[in-house]
Each structure stands twice: as structure tokens, then as C-alpha cells.
A and B are shown apart, each in its own frame.
Chain A
Amino acid sequence: QVQLQESGPGLVKPSQTLSLTCTVSGGSISSGSYYWSWIRQPAGKGLEWIGRIYTSGSTNYNPSLKSRVTISVDTSKNQFSLKLSSVTAADTAVYYCARVGYYYGSGSYVDYFDYWGQGTLVTVSS
């Protein structure tokens, strides 16, 4: 059973860089053809996809955050990480890491988020 766990500072000052790590257990992050993703959720609001990474290091980012986001992977530690620069109060949210699973049917792939971490609250405040 794959498990994911986020870790990192719960409080970040405005204009600084938010840094989080997701540790994957129950299997190798490199096994299977999976992307690994970050998603966030401000209190009382909906879910926003931040970006994803393949174990080769290939990344995709949400255009609305692309200029400030970097996602990286360390396969030796079975971890992937998120850095979000120049944060403001609007970046206060619960941050989740998730695995991107996929289904192949009718000649195409459908992907979805099948395993999630428990989430970690990051507050941006001075």
C-alpha cells in the first residue's frame, strides 16, 4: 500500500520561499509509470493543482503558479519536493502531495489522483 507524507515548515514569512517534501513509502517512487503531484487547498475553499513531476525529472506546472514553482525529485530518498517562491498570504493553504494514477481504456489514458498524503497546513505570515 503506497503511503505519502508531507513535511516542512508550517509558517513562512511573506516574500520568502515555501519548501515542502513528500516522502513515499510502501513502494519505490520509480516503479511504475507514475507522475507525482502537489495540490493545495485554502481553508474552506476548493482544490488547486500546483504541478507534477515524473521520476525522470520531467515537470508540468499550473500556468497560474509557474513563475514561482519548482518541483524536484530525489529517487534515492523516495521523495519529491515543492518550492514556491515569493509567497503571500494568498498562498496560505493545506498542501497535499498525491500520486497520479492512470487507466487505459478506449485507446486513451485517463489519469487521476489515487493516493494522497494527509496534508500539511502552511501559513504565510510575518
Chain B
Amino acid sequence: DIQMTQSPSSLSASVGDRVTITCRASQSISSYLNWYQQKPGKAPKLLIYAASSLQSGVPSRFSGSGSGTDFTLTISSLQPEDFATYYCQQSYSTPLAAFGPGTKVDIK
């Protein structure tokens, strides 16, 4: 099975900060990597698919990059509504979807 890890597990940041979250796969998954944002009590929301494609309606301050085993989600200028938990998900081994453990972004 492909294992997904994320770092850091949590971070504190201020509004306006540039934030980078890393996701790593235990083996190459090409660009089969998606990113989600989840706020407390809400369902996850798709942000990025295929490693770097921005989902419709998602602000352009979110971007994704990477391929193979190492991926990053970047928020160029953190906004108050961005405080949430972020999950990566690999779809290389579809139909078996596997999520990373999550990165919680909170207010500094």
C-alpha cells in the first residue's frame, strides 16, 4: 500500500504569511495527488487536483506543485478564512484512495 505523510502536522501562522505544506508518498505516484481543506464541523473541500490544477472557484492564492513522491501546497498570503486542516490524497492506486494525516493551520 502507498503511505502518505504530511509535514508539519500543525503550524501557526499570521494573516498575510506565506504557508507551505508538504506531502510525501512512500512510492512514486506521478501527479496523482489532490489537496483538500477542511474546517471544523464541515466536509472537506477540494482545492487542487492532479498536483497543480486549481479547482474551479478556489482562490488563486492556493497553488500546488510536485510530482513523483514529493508535493507541496502553498498559500501565498494566508487569509482569516484559510485557518483549517489540509489533507493530501493520492489517487494513483485508484480505486483505493488514501489520505494523508492532515496539517492543521492555526492562528499565531
Residues of chain A touching chain B, judged by Cβ–Cβ distance below 8 Å, are: 35, 37, 39, 46-49, 52, 60, 62-63, 96, 98, 101, 103, 105-106, 110-114, 116-119
Q: Is the interface of B mostly helix, strand, loop or mixed?
A: loop
A111 interface neighbour in B31, B91, B99, B100, Cβ under 8 Å: B91
Give 7 closest A-B pairs by Cβ, nearest first: A60-B95, A116-B43, A49-B97, A47-B99, A112-B34, A110-B50, A112-B49
Q: How many interface residues does B have (CB within 8 Å)? A: 25
**Which residues of chain B come closer than 8 Å to A110, judged between CB atoms?**
31-32, 34, 49-50, 91
Say yes or no: B46 contacts A52, CB within 8 Å: no
Min Cβ gap A10→B in Å is 15
A98 to B96 Cα, complex, angstroms = 14
B interface residues (Cβ-Cβ under 8 A, vs A): 31-32, 34, 36, 42-46, 49-50, 53, 55, 87, 89, 91, 94-102
* Closest residue of A by beta carbon distance from B102: A46
Interface residues of chain A: helix, strand, loop or mixed (majority): strand
B residues near A48, Cβ cutoff 8 Å: 99
A113 to B46, CA, bound (A): 7
